[in-house]
């Protein structure tokens, strides 16, 4: 009976997904790819880097001093136009990591039943460096390519996770990570307050935005994303180390 | 291209069903990981690379690890009794 209900539910969900995605005619919910009238959407204004009305075309590596200046539209919305929202997200992550730390953190490390073998250890030493560098690349280039602080930070945390899996004795310097987490979070707030004093708004983009598409463009966006990446990375690493610890013994 | 999208969608549904229905919890964790890997593909088809990267790292990497660690610690408490 339970199985039947599950099959029915999955079928109904699949039916709605496919009819909404691929239906044509009057009853369609989502327009097909390529048929969207972008000029009628708000996102068009964000792509053209202006919400004030005077819309000009933006060219890669040519346009100077655009309103937001980041080549990646998602980043310009997340860290420039809705940066306060991102601050809230970082706070939510902090509170959840704090809860896990309060509930689970212990003195000694949990040991696996089967000890990690040599091949895993050697492979992780090769792979983890590449993963770390990729994570750092992703959050530094968050305003140019897809990605940003959150995926970059969690990539760093996944490298730390690989170290934890491959080595039974590995234990990060927890204090250093907590210090990094707190500092990065505070620096984000300090940049927000600097914007408040210089531009009149909290998290105002007060640094000149430069040429679209260059590494040092988009004002405070890359700086803020570096802080977010460091904070998320250290936070998730702490969370993993809390999950792998046990009290007593 | 549309055929591939539909195939990915159908396999997504199959793995979602398997994740609910499998007897062992470890199996359903693996099915969930496969599910999020497939949804990465469908996110790329829907032209959302930002979401795809985040889903690839968090959905199939970190969340799977956290689930497995939780499963290990649950089993340990059960063994003590």
Residue range A191-249, pLDDT digits in tens:
888 888 887 778 777 787 777 777 777 778 888 888 888 898 888 888 888 888 776 54
Tokens 């679209």 correspond to A212
CA dist list (Å): A156 to A116, A139, A185, A221? 21, 10, 17, 20
Does any CB of chain A come closer than 8 Å to the CB of residue B26?
no
What percent of chain A shows pLDDT beyond 90?
6
The pLDDT tens digits for A142-177 are: 888 888 888 898 898 888 888 888 887 777 666 788
Dist CA A51 CA A8 (whole Å): 46
| Structure tokens that stand for A159 in this block | 């490298």
- pLDDT of A34 above 80: no
According to the model, what pLDDT value does residue A31 have?
Answer: 66
The whole-model pTM stands at 0.78
**In terms of pLDDT, which residue wins out, B52 or A24?**
B52
The C-alpha of B38 sits at a distance from chain A's nearest C-alpha, in angstroms, of: 15
What pLDDT is recorded for position A32?
66
Residue A130: is its pLDDT beyond 90?
A: yes
Q: Where would I find the beta strands (DSSP E) of A36-144?
A: 108-109
Give A115 or B29, the one with higher predicted confidence. B29
Query: Nearest-CA residue of chain A relative to B61?
Result: A158
Q: Is the minimum CB–CB distance between B74 and chain A shorter than 8 Å?
A: no
């Amino acid at each position: 009976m339970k199985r039947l209900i599950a099959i029915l539910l999955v079928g109904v969900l699949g039916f709605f997904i496919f009819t909404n995605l691929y239906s044509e005619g009057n009853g369609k919910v989502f327009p097909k790819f390529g048929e969207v009238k972008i000029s009628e959407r708000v996102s068009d204004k964000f792509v053209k880097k202006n919400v004030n009305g005077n819309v000009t075309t933006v060219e890669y590596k040519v346009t100077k001093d655009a309103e937001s200046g980041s080549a990646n539209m998602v980043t310009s919305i997340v860290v420039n136009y809705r940066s306060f929202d991102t601050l809230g997200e970082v706070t939510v992550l902090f509170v959840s990591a704090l809860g896990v730390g309060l509930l689970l953190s212990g003195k000694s490390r949990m040991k696996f039943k089967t000890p990690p073998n040599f091949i895993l250890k050697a492979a992780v030493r090769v792979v983890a460096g590449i993963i770390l560098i990729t994570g750092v690349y992703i959050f530094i280039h968050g305003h140019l390519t897809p990605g940003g602080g959150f995926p970059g930070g969690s990539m760093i945390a996944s490298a730390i996770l690989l170290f934890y899996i491959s080595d039974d004795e590995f234990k990060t310097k927890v204090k250093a990570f907590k210090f990094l987490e707190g500092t990065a979070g505070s620096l984000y707030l300090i940049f927000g307050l600097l914007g408040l004093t210089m531009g009149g708004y909290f998290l105002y983009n007060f640094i000149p935005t430069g040429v679209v598409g260059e590494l040092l463009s988009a004002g405070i966006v890359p700086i803020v994303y570096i802080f977010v990446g460091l904070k998320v990375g250290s936070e998730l690493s702490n969370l993993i180390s809390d999950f792998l610890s046990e009290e007593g013994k | 291209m549309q055929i591939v999208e539909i195939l990915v969608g159908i396999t997504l549904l199959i793995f979602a069903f398997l994740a609910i229905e499998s007897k062992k919890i470890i199996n359903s964790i693996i099915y969930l990981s496969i599910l999020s890997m497939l949804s990465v593909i469908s996110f790329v088809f829907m032209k959302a690379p930002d979401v795809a990267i985040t889903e690839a790292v968090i959905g199939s990497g970190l969340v799977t690890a956290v689930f497995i660690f939780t499963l290990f610690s649950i089993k340990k408490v059960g063994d003590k009794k």
